[in-house]
């Protein structure tokens, strides 16, 4: 018989042994291997440690924890830590029993529980889902376990959390699809408002950057007071927690000066062993240093700190900060409803990730309920690799003439980069006309129903647009004449783009009409020459 109970000091060695068996020497939290660190965690009021014990033998066959102080003060937010089952205890339902017991122990103390499940297998994801947790994100390459491994983020709400949730978050378009999936997974209506033309904070560079030393702590603390009109970035640490807590958590600050006067600061934590970082605070005198502080931190993480993964939790009501992060290489990876308590309401949070290492999502093992979100994040990461080439194509193709720089980036982010091998047939007569391509390189040969060439499509020209507008299926055959690449839009993605960004839609429709007129004129001239 398996009994679940709170851990005590005598369980420390058995717990450490289970982690060593499960993860070898590569586990990203070395404190689980250290006997003294484990004792402190077990005795702490901020951590709940449970073990699964076999009643007949007294053997400890599983363990799980809840970290009760992971948010800002009074956030009522907890992280359900790693769940480990000894090989001798597998197949007895111990994982499910530990998760059930954790929820029962802490549900009266929490509003929000989160768990970062391993993506190398579905075991922990399945257990989380069975006990009321819902998939809200995928954290790419977050863990260092030999190779880098991703985490499927799940959330569960308790008590009055959702009653206190602030409605109608304001989001940039790139976040909206993720937010919609996460809210629906949590049985909430998607009430988000899309900011049609988001603007980042100003691009100002005239600042001197300094890392905070001990003697600057009182200066920064005085600066921080009254400098936060409304918080946009949230984390487990705050400057006013004290210098000791900052040092213990490896918290640091970059300070921005202008003409010798401090005007802003960004707080972050670096885990050198795990090669990860997290932004937990940003304060400023005005808007001017915010963009530069973010970009400077990203640069240092890439070039000096050797960081592979940098994350930040940004308010779902701060589109200016969301856009600033997006322009500095961050992508939305998770959307967590009602995660933090601020003023008198609970705010939704967007977890954005800057991935500074190569992404390869082929090894993902995602439990079925979380696949739509995982696919969305995976697609965004793959697009990020292709984005510079897509943006360049948008800048040169007549179909996109007149778009602003921000609009160009949005259109490029809505497309896929497609490779066109020589000889490939893109469509035949009667195939559905559900895709539009803008040729980046290479050449496409167009043949009629009699297999005669009637024209070619080259770089910067669009293919499939006439049929997709006027007919449900194609009337010609398109074959790749020479190897190249194309921007690929599905009909659905274009409709979504026009729906969310009517300002872009108007320009595309105008350009599309001009391009169609040009093509029809060329076709008439071609037919005239043939008659002569």
pLDDT-based confidence at 172, cuts 50/70/90? very high
Per-residue confidence at 229, pLDDT binned at 50, 70, 90?
Answer: low
Taking each helix axis from N to C terminus, what angle separates 176-185 and 371-396, rounded to the nearest 10 degrees? Answer: 170
Instruction: Give the confidence band of 291 by pLDDT, cuts at 50, 70, 90.
Output: very high
- Residue keyed to tokens 């290492």: 357
Q: Are residues 409 and 324 in the same domain?
A: no
Q: What is the number of domains present in the chain?
A: 3
* Segment (H or E) for 271: strand 261-271
Range(s) of the domain holding residue 153: 2-157
230 class by beta-carbon count within 10 Å (0-12 exposed, 13-18 middle, 19+ buried) = exposed
Comparing C-alpha atoms, which of 489, 262, 493, 498 is closest to residue 394? 489
- Does residue 373 belong to any structural domain of this protein? no
> Same domain for 40 and 179?
no
- Do residue 260 and residue 213 come from a single domain? yes
- Is 390 a member of any domain? no
Residue 514 banded pLDDT, cuts 50, 70, 90? confident
Domain termination residue (choose one: 107, 123, 157): 157
pLDDT above 70 for 485: yes
Which DSSP helix (H) or strand (E) runs through 360? none
Burial 475-495 (b: 16+ CB within 10 A, else e): ebbbbbbeebbbbbbeeeebe
Q: Find residue 51's DSSP bridge partners.
A: 5, 63
Q: Are residues 288 and 424 in the same domain?
A: no
The answer to whether position 258 is within a domain reads yes
384 lies in a domain? Answer: no
Q: Average model confidence (pLDDT) for the chain?
A: 87
Measured CA to CA, the distance from residue 453 to residue 449 in angstroms comes to 10
What gap in Å lies between CA 79 and CA 67, rounded to an integer?
A: 5
Confidence grade of residue 405 (pLDDT, cut at 50, 70, 90) = confident
Tell which residue, 410, 359, 355, has the closest CA to residue 382. 359
Residue 531 — very low, low, confident or very high, per pLDDT cuts 50/70/90?
very low
Q: Do 152 and 201 lie in a common domain?
A: no
Domain endpoint, select from 97, 130, 157: 157
* pLDDT tens figures, 435-473: 889 999 999 999 988 888 888 889 998 888 765 555 678
pLDDT band at 529 (very low <50, low <70, confident <90, very high): very low
* Residue listed under structure tokens 């060695």: 13
Check whether residue 144 and residue 230 sit in a common domain: no
Task: List Cβ neighbours of 318 (8 Å cut-off, separation of 6 or more).
Answer: 170, 230, 232
**Beta-carbon count within 10 A of 28 CB:** 17
The residue whose two tokens read 């409709």 is 495
Dig out the tokens for 421 from the structure: 């091998």
Confidence of residue 511 (pLDDT cuts 50, 70, 90): confident
Q: Are residues 435 and 493 in the same domain?
A: yes
Q: Is residue 370 part of a domain?
A: no
Same structural domain, 290 and 410:
no
Q: What is the CATH number of the domain that holds 48?
A: 3.40.630.30
Q: pTM (2 decimals)?
A: 0.77
In a domain, 151, yes or no: yes
Position 384 pLDDT exceeds 80: no
Residue 92, domain member (yes or no): yes
Q: Look at the block and give the residue holding tokens 């946009």.
A: 232
* Across 32-36, 107-111, 263-267, 428-432, least confident range: 32-36
Final residue of a structural domain among 95, 127, 157 = 157
Supply the CATH number for residue 522's domain: 2.60.120.10
Distance in angstroms (rounded) separating the CA atoms of residues 116 and 142: 10
Q: Is residue 353 predicted with pLDDT exceeding 70?
A: yes
Q: Is residue 378 part of a domain?
A: no
The residues facing 443 across adjacent strands are: 482
Residues 508 and 429 in one domain: yes
pLDDT higher than threshold 50 for residue 163 = yes
* CA–centroid distance for 256 within its chain: 27
Considering the domain architecture, whether residues 414 and 483 belong to the same structural domain is answered as yes
Distance CA 161, CA 109 (A): 12
* Token output for 392: 């360049």
145 and 33 belong to one structural domain: yes
What mean pLDDT comes out for the span 357-383? 89
Neighbour count for residue 321 (Cβ, 10 Å): 23
Residues 153 and 178 in one domain: no
Identify how many contiguous H helices and E strands the chain contains and give both numbers: 14, 24
């Amino acid at each position: 018989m398996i009994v679940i109970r709170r851990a005590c000091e005598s369980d420390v060695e058995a717990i450490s042994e289970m982690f060593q068996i499960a993860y070898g020497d590569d586990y990203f939290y070395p404190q689980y291997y250290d006997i003294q660190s484990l004792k402190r965690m077990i005795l702490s009021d901020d951590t709940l440690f449970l073990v699964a014990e076999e009643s007949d033998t007294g053997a400890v066959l599983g363990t799980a924890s809840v970290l009760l102080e992971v948010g800002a003060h009074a956030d009522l937010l907890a992280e359900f830590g790693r769940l480990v089952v000894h090989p001798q205890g597998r197949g007895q339902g111990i994982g499910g029993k530990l998760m059930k017991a954790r929820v029962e122990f802490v549900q009266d103390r929490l509003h929000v529980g989160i768990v970062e499940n391993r993506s190398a297998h579905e075991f922990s994801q399945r257990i989380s889902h069975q006990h009321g947790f819902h998939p809200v994100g995928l954290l790419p390459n977050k863990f260092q376990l030999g190779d880098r491994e991703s985490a499927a983020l799940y959330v569960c709400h308790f008590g009055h959390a959702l009653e206190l949730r602030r409605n109608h978050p304001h989001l940039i378009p790139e976040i909206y699809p993720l937010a919609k999936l996460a809210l629906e997974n949590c049985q909430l209506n998607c009430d988000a408002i899309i900011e049609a033309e988001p603007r980042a904070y100003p691009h100002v560079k005239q600042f001197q950057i300094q890392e905070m030393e001990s003697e600057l702590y009182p200066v920064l603390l005085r600066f921080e007071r009254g400098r936060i009109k409304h918080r946009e970035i949230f984390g487990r640490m705050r400057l006013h927690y004290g210098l000791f807590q900052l040092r213990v958590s490896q918290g640091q600050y970059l300070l921005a000066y202008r003409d010798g006067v401090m005007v802003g600061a960004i707080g972050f934590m670096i885990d050198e062993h795990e090669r990860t970082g997290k932004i937990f605070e940003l304060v400023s005198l005005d808007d001017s240093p915010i963009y530069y502080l973010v970009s400077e931190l990203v640069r240092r993480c890439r070039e000096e700190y050797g960081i592979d993964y940098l994350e930040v939790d940004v308010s779902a009501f701060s589109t200016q900060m969301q856009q600033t992060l997006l322009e500095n290489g961050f992508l939305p990876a998770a959307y967590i409803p009602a995660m933090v308590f601020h003023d008198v309401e609970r705010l939704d949070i967007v977890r954005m990730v800057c991935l500074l290492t190569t992404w390869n999502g082929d090894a993902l093992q995602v439990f079925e309920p979380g696949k739509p979100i995982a696919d969305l994040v995976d697609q965004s990461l793959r697009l990020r690799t292709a984005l510079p080439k897509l943006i360049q194509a948008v800048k040169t193709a007549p179909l996109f003439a007149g778009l602003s720089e921000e609009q160009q980036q949005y259109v490029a982010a809505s497309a896929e980069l497609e490779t066109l091998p020589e000889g490939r047939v893109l469509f035949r007569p009667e195939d559905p006309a559900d895709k539009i391509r803008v040729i980046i390189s290479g050449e496409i040969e167009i043949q009629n129903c009699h297999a005669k060439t009637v024209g070619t499509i080259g770089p910067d020209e669009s293919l499939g647009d006439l049929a997709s507008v006027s007919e449900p299926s194609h009337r010609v055959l398109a074959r790749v004449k020479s190897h190249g690449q194309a921007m690929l839009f599905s009909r659905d993605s274009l409709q979504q783009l026009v729906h969310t960004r009517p300002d872009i839609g108007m320009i595309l429709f105008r350009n599309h009409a001009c391009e169609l007129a040009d093509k029809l004129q060329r076709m008439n001239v071609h037919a005239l020459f043939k008659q002569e």
